[in-house]
Structure 1
Amino acid sequence: APLPPALSVNPAQEASVDAKTPEVHMIVCALDYKKTSCPLTCTADGDNMLELARGCGANVETLYNEEATAANVTKLIEQVGGRCGEGDYFVFYYAGHGANLPDQDGDEEDGQDEAFCLVDENGQTSPACWLRDDDFATSVTSSVHAGTKVLILSDCCHSGTVADLGKPIWDGYAVASISGCKDAQTSGDTGHGGIFTHSLLVALDQLGKQRQFEFTVGEVHQETVKVDDAVFASVQDISIAARPSPGMRWPLVPPTGYLAPLNKQSREAAISPAAPLPPALSVNPAQEASVDAKTPEVHMIVCALDYKKTSCPLTCTADGDNMLELARGCGANVETLYNEEATAANVTKLIEQVGGRCGEGDYFVFYYAGHGANLPDQDGDEEDGQDEAFCLVDENGQTSPACWLRDDDFATSVTSSVHAGTKVLILSDCCHSGTVADLGKPIWDGYAVASISGCKDAQTSGDTGHGGIFTHSLLVALDQLGKQRQFEFTVGEVHQETVKVDDAVFASVQDISIAARPSPGMRWPLVPPTGYLAPLNKQSREAAISPAAPLPPAL
């Protein structure tokens, strides 16, 4: 049915909805090689690039240390590249060792291929583990849409042509590569990250302070070289290659107030450049104060399944995409598991990885959309004699109790991975989910944690055919709170507003539920940016979602 006027957009809004904003999908790959005889400090670079990317609203995935095997890197390129559409950006950042190998297909003038020095699952490195430039180029071009803009950033030795942009395989792509040095050179490590990465981030800081909010990849390269000359005076030649030209717009424009790590003055003088910092690169006392006050980071997992290979399909990846849009707009660091990726092993591994990045005062957010189920209680902690479970799948997309993640195991996974000083938020759009976080268990003692779920344990959650009732209600609630100029609200207030939207729009029989320790007064971490429109509020010619009842004027 047509959406009522209160939910329609005016022509100006409609134009802004139809004109798709380019999305930035990024991979950060960084290795310290601590289990080898040649350690580096590249995960510091990875963390610094993550901070920049989150501030820009990019969708970032990471591979650190033992995670960064050739199989994992190529698989993640395929997954992230597949999410990029026409006009979007695919950014690949690598910090680690780089090497030369004998040319295997005769395309190198110097007779040598370049390679990223990846590791095996034990953290050891050898040529058998490395990713050649030929294979890297094939991986990217076979995974990324030709209408997607590609940016490759390589802080490693022997990296001048590591993207192999001279290969015909790149024909039709807009692609640029900036690397720490030429093929015959080495890239320096400062002991707190790489010379190239630090120079790049200071260059972006400087461009932002000059009120340049739009610049090209070529301009960023030029400014990076200037910073290297002024700060490190290194012998490495920071290099650029591009097709068709370096005039491509730079996708990672730092937000207002961004400070490069090198510009954050530290009492410990953590980074000692080869030459004193020039005055333009120092910070004043006001800037220093803003550095000392750490802003909480939001680390989020979005897990969504459609079960298309089963007899019970849903439309939950639509929910996943909608939550991703919100999270990116909030500057959250988001990782995803969709469909066959969402096995119990992958979910618990990702909880461990993402949870491990959360510090004191940060937020860990877990969002799940899919089937939920009851199972016989296995440890006697359930009043109704039933555990709740997320209905995950095997690698073939099939689901059965053997694949599911019980509430007990989920709670153990989160609490064993996430720092007790981190605030935890769990959002579950699935059936039988009222106590799926198992917040009554002593294992949660000492945590500030809240769980909002689509229904009570004995109920089912509805799927509209374009996503779940709970998720749509939640996003409209956040849209409404934002339009009331409420830029700070609690998890309890979000729950109350979500229930109101469900009652008004869907009139569903499911009871959207909340549980919290110590109370639902925890601040909500995903405050929508100015201009945010919930999917249900984006008028569609196809009238994709038909509310059960007309929305009242207030909505």
Structure 2
Amino acid sequence: MATGLALHVGLNSVDPARYEGWEGTLVACENDAHDMARLARTAGFESTVLLTPDGTVANVTAVLADAAARLGPGDIMLVTYSGHGGQLPDATGSDDEPDAFDETLVLYDRQFLDDEVHQAFGAFADDVRIVTFFDCCHSGSSIELPGGPEADGTARYMPEPEQRQLYARDREFYTELRRTLAEAAPRNGAGPDVLLVSACQDNQVASDGDVNGAFTEALLRVWDDGAFKGGYRDFHRAIQRRLPPTQSPNLYLTGTPDQKFLGQRPFTV
């Protein structure tokens, strides 16, 4: 019998001591994490929830590493993230970022590069199904593989002045981090098979809300307490129809996920 593990991260703020005084206050991200965990547990997943101060790079990577050690072929890993998204200039000049930016998850203590997400997923065994739902800005390709109009309401977006300030401060750190990640990458270019459904495209921003983020709210309505029928592509399209053109959810694949997997009803363990 297959095993399903899930990680749900929701950050309503970040550590201002690590972000030059910026707190990044949001309203609905912890609610999103709780609601996605409830959905996942009902579907048969064993869930871990990391909220605001616990949403650190060390905690996220530790949970993913533990899951990678536990799961084998045929099992499934679900990751949901709700919080700010950011972008950092891709100073390496690599061709894996057509927009010349690395997308980031703005975790409590620092930005987590899409390349780091990719590396964490690369530790999973072949044929582990990996599914991610990211409710943040610039999330269209945030799982990585080797400027649109603003959304309504509060955007889950680190403001550009703060991004520039932090990049100037941390440029050497991220340059060395990227070098280390590149050295550790598989030489044959192979990578994990991952399915991402994201809140928006890389050049768009995602809306926060009073109870849930706009993307998570649409997802929960489409799921309808398990009444939804159809595969992941159908699920993505149904969520997309509930959101405006300024926030167009993306379905993004890395590797070569099995077509049978893509056709499964979402959250099938």
State TM-score, norm by structure 1: 0.37
Max Rg structure: 1
Q: Which amino acid aligns with 2:251?
A: I
Q: How many residues align?
A: 216
Alpha-carbon separation, structure 1, partners of 2:89 and 2:190? 25
Report what 2:173 is aligned to.
none
Match of 2:29 in 1: 42
1:244 to 232, 253, 256: 256
5+ long unaligned stretches in structure 2: 16-21, 147-184
Query: What root-mean-square deviation, in Å, do the aligned CA atoms of Structure 1 and Structure 2 show?
Result: 2.3
Residue aligning to 1:219: 234
Q: Secondary structure at the match of 1:93?
A: strand
Q: CA deviation at 1:205?
A: 1.3
Which residue in 1 is equivalent to 2:133?
153
Cα distance in 2 for partners of 1:159, 1:192 equals: 21
Identity of matched residues, %: 27
Kindly indicate whether the alpha-carbon contact (under 8 Å) linking 2:8 and 2:33 is maintained by their aligned counterparts in 1: yes
Q: Residues 29-65 of structure 1, C-alpha deviation per residue, up to 9 Å, x if partnerless?
A: 1100076543112001011101111111211111111
Contact 1:24 1:251 in 2 (8 A): no
Query: What's 2:227 paired with?
Result: 209
3-state SS, counterpart of residue 242 of structure 2: helix
Task: Write the mapping of 1:253-332 to structure 2, written as runs, cut at 5 A.
Answer: none
Give 3-state SS (helix, strand or coil) of 1:202's partner: helix
The aligned residue for residue 78 of structure 1 is 65
Q: CA deviation at 1:130?
A: 0.9
Q: Which residue of 1 aligns with 2:19?
A: none
Residue identity opposite 2:11 in structure 1: L
Equivalent positions of 1:378-393 (< 5 A) are none
TM-score, normalisation: structure 2 = 0.74
- 2:62, 2:138 → 1: CA distance? 24
Say if 1:76 and 1:109 are closer, same or farther in 2 by CA, change over 3 A.
same
Looking at structure 1, the residues matched to 91 and 49 of structure 2 have their Cα atoms a distance apart, in angstroms, of 29
Work out the CA distance in 2 between the residues paired with 1:38 and 1:162: 19
Whether the aligned pair in 2 keeps the contact of 1:217 and 1:246 (CA below 8 Å) is: no
Question: Structure 2: how far apart are the matches of 1:50 and 1:92?
Answer: 10
Structure 1: distance between partners of 2:61 and 2:204? 26
Question: 1:244 & 1:147 partners in 2: Cα distance?
Answer: 10
Q: What amino acid is the match of 2:54? A: E
Alignment map for 1:86-235 (pairs within 5 Å): 86-105=73-92, 106=94, 107-120=96-109, 129-142=110-123, 144-164=124-144, 166-167=145-146, 171=190, 173-205=192-224, 208-209=226-227, 212=229, 215-228=230-243, 233=244, 235=246
CA contact (8 A) 2:122 2:191 kept: no
Query: Residue type of the partner of 1:209?
Result: A
Per the alignment, in what secondary structure is the counterpart of residue 53 of structure 1? helix
User: Are 2:49 and 1:62 aligned?
Assistant: yes
Q: Give how far 1:244 is off.
A: 2.5
- In the TM superposition, residue 218 of structure 1 has moved relative to its aligned partner by 1.0
Query: For residue 102 of structure 1, what is the amino acid of its counterpart?
Result: P
Contact 1:218 1:246 in 2 (8 A): no
Q: Distance in 1 between matches of 2:142 and 2:208?
A: 19
Q: Structure 1 residue 173: deviation in Å?
A: 3.7
Asked if the contact 1:89/1:251 (under 8 Å) is kept, the reply is no
Q: CA deviation at 1:81?
A: 2.1
**Matching of residue 26 in structure 1 with residue 26 in structure 2:** no
- State the 1:209 CA deviation: 3.5
> Distance between the aligned counterparts of 1:147 and 1:23, measured in 2?
13
User: Aligned to 2:13, what secondary structure does the other structure show?
Assistant: coil
Task: Give SS of 1:223's match.
Answer: helix
- 1:74 Cα offset (Å): 0.9
Q: Does 1:53 align with 2:40?
A: yes
Q: Name the CA distance, whole Å, in 1 between partners of 2:82 and 2:205.
A: 13
Structure 1 unaligned blocks of 5 or more: 1-20, 121-128, 254-327, 329-555
Q: Secondary structure at the match of 2:224?
A: helix
**Preserved CA contact (<8 Å) 2:121 2:192:** no
Deviation at 1:147? 1.7
